[in-house]
Structure 1
Amino acid sequence: MTTHMKGTSRRGYLDLPHGQVHYREAGRSGAPALVVLHQSPLSSATYEPVMELLAGHGIQVVALDTPGFGMSDATPGQWSMSEYAASVWQAVDALGLGTVHLLGQHTGALIAAEAALSGRERVSGLIFQGIPLYTDEERAEKAETYAPSYTTDADGGHLKVIWDRIRGLYPTISADSASRQVAEYLSVGPRYGVAYPAVFRYQVDPAALAGIPTLLLHGTEDVLDRMNDVVTAAFPHAPLVTIPGGTDFVAEEQPEVFAAAVAEHVLHAPALASPPPFTPVYTATADAAGGRGGTGRSRTGSLAGPDAAGGAQ
């Protein structure tokens, strides 16, 4: 099992407007494309053990280091979720990919959701490997207390602080995996929680994602497994697949099982409906009540389309 930062997949850098973005790639160009977005404050190395297996299923997989994490350059300032999502599409364009599937874990799942909203016509499917649907109270509390920064100590005491945090979150993972995560924390620096303000300000709109083939996939020991009831209610048409015994790092713990579940969705998800074969001449928002015999009220002024006075057919 590969648990270090390198691995055997092809690696490279993309020159994007905000700096360089590091990525890993496996599989044949032109195959169904899967873009993988990791949880923070880690990196694409989480998915190194499963890259070649996904390629073996006939998938072109690209795992990005989110800007500011892994070996990607830091962002020029505090980013919003929409800016993280925009960087995904910049990377997709730089790689010459067309329509893609998006797999995101935790922070990466929120980035994937926002990317799907902003580039829906480019998304063939979504896989959420644990998506945090916090209440307003949870988001407010976490914004105040989660991921406190550390001070770099001359005696290396900060390494123990990082180690203890990782072990507290994931007590059952291997020492090798925990060691890699220490390196990932250090690659970001004392403000390793730089993406969390965007996370705790962001509210997913599941209804807006309706119609995109979506899979909920994670290990039974994932820290967000506790949200299953909330998440399945929010995404009622998305199947939930849990991998027994898998932690947040099930992709490196059980790579064959994980790859098979991902490939099943990527290769067999139903195609998205074609866009309507017309160009809208007017868009309005309205409230309606009472069914066919009821009333309607426009929120956006008088209707201005050429057939506005014709009524419903």
Structure 2
Amino acid sequence: MPRSRKAYTDGRYGQIHYRFAGEKTDRLPLFCLHQSPKNSLEFETFLLEASRDRLTVAGDYPGYGMSDAPPSEEQASVELYAESMWKVADAMALDRIDVFGNHTGSKVAIEMAKQQPARVRGIAMVSAAILTEEERAQFADFFTPIPLDREGTRIKENWRRIVASAGPAWSLEHMDRSFLQTQMAGEAYEWGHTAAFAYNAPFTEGLEQLPHRKIILNPADDLQVCTRRAREMMTNGEIIELPDWTYGFLDVHAKEVADLLLPKLDAA
């Protein structure tokens, strides 16, 4: 079975791990940006499918997967995550790219385009967390870290959440891989959600002000309703409703996602 290749580069707080598939072609490389508290492994199936005609890359943010963590939660931010992904692009000598973010990764995608606008052609996203203050507080409360204990409360709850949100076609092996990614983040596992919630205003500003082509996939997940708020504020963007897809669709529908997304990015 094909596998992605793996490598490391240096970042602000240590090494940054990334995986990649395919080769450089006349198509722009596609950079995939993970949600919290996952890592680049969530894109493994999609990377292989999308690499049929281009280089595809997915990195681990600092503190996730096999990337070194910043010294404290205060240093963890969407800006740091975007900077770290540009470190990967530089290590691979990639001049211009398309970006594709999932949940937290959607905010990282916007920030990457803010940091180096000339190097980004198109921005694709899974969902757009455009939250009211009440919603932000509710999400922050839900994602408050669960302390470790000998009863395994955190472990049981994280597994319960994965099973509860899984789509019908997502296998137990897929769920186990998702659970592994959460566990790999250790005590930093909720830093990414905190960073994403803090990036609410810059995210909406980016949707409104960045001239880049923006494509938002809107599956049936917990951000489905708030994602639709982007329709009226986006410059040069579209929302694609996907009511039959839910969590795990990057595994289950990898080919369909590539077939849908890649031509749109190439036309950006």
Residue 84 of structure 1: which of 81, 86, 93 is its match? 81
- Residue equivalent to 1:290: none
Residue type matched to 2:228 in 1?
Answer: D
**TM-score scaled to structure 1, two decimals?**
0.77
Structure 1 residues 115-124 or 229-238, which shifts more?
229-238
8 A Cα contact 1:150 1:191, kept in partner: no
TM-score by length of 2: 0.89
Q: Which of 88, 91, 101 matches 2:98?
A: 101
**Where does residue 242 of structure 1 map in the other structure?**
241
Query: What's the offset of the Cα at 1:171?
Result: 6.2
**Distance across 2 between alignment mates of 1:96 and 1:188:** 28
Q: Which structure has the larger Rg?
A: 1
Quick one: distance in 2 between partners of 1:171 and 1:264?
26
In 2, Cα distance between the equivalents of 1:69 and 1:142?
A: 20
- SS of the equivalent of 1:127 reads strand
Letter in 1 for 2:43: Y
| RMSD after superposition | 2.1
Whether 2:145 is the aligned partner of 1:149: answer: yes
Structure 2 match to 1:12: 7
Structure 2: which 5+ runs fail to align? none
Deviation at 1:101, TM superposition (A): 0.7
SS at match of 2:50: helix
Distance 1:52 1:197 in 2: 30
Residues 59 and 263, structure 1, Cα contact 8 Å, conserved in 2: no
Show the counterpart of 2:209: 208
Structure 2 match to 1:72? 67
SS at match of 2:229: helix
Structure 1 residues 163, 39: CA separation in 2 closer, same or farther (over 3 Å shift)? same
How far apart, in 1, do the equivalents of 2:79 and 2:215 lie? 22
- The corresponding residue for 1:284 is none
Answer yes or no: is the 8 Å Cα contact 1:150–1:190 preserved in 2: no
Q: CA deviation at 1:156?
A: 4.2
Of 36, 43, 50, the match for 1:40:
36
Q: 1:178-189 to 2 correspondence within 5 Å?
A: 178-189=175-186
Show CA shifts across 1:179-214 (max 9, x none).
Answer: 1122111111244111222211212112221x2011
Q: Is the 8 A contact 1:223 1:247 kept in 2?
A: no
Contact 1:32 1:60 survives alignment (8 Å): yes
1:68 shift after superposition: 1.0
Does structure 2 conserve the Cα–Cα contact (< 8 Å) formed by 1:218 and 1:248?
A: no
Which residue of structure 2 lines up, in the alignment, with residue 120 of structure 1? 117
**Shift of the alpha carbon at 1:17?**
2.8
- In structure 2, do the counterparts of structure 1 residues 201 and 157 end up closer, same or farther at CA, with 3 Å as the change threshold? closer
Corresponding residue number in structure 2 for 1:138: 135
Distance (whole Å) between structure 2 residues aligned to residue 92 and residue 106 of structure 1 = 21
What number of residue pairs does the alignment pair up? 260
User: Does the CA contact (< 8 Å) of 2:18 and 2:88 recur in 1?
Assistant: no
Deviations 1:39-71 (A, max 9, x none): 010111111112122111x12110111211112
C-alpha distance in 2, partners of 1:170/1:20?
32
How much identity, in percent, do the aligned residues show? 29
Cα deviation per residue 1:6-62 (whole Å; 9 max; x = unaligned)?
A: x61111222223211111111212441111101010111111112122111x12110
Higher relative contact order (CA 8 A, sep 6+): 2
Could you say what secondary structure the match of 1:239 adopts?
Answer: strand
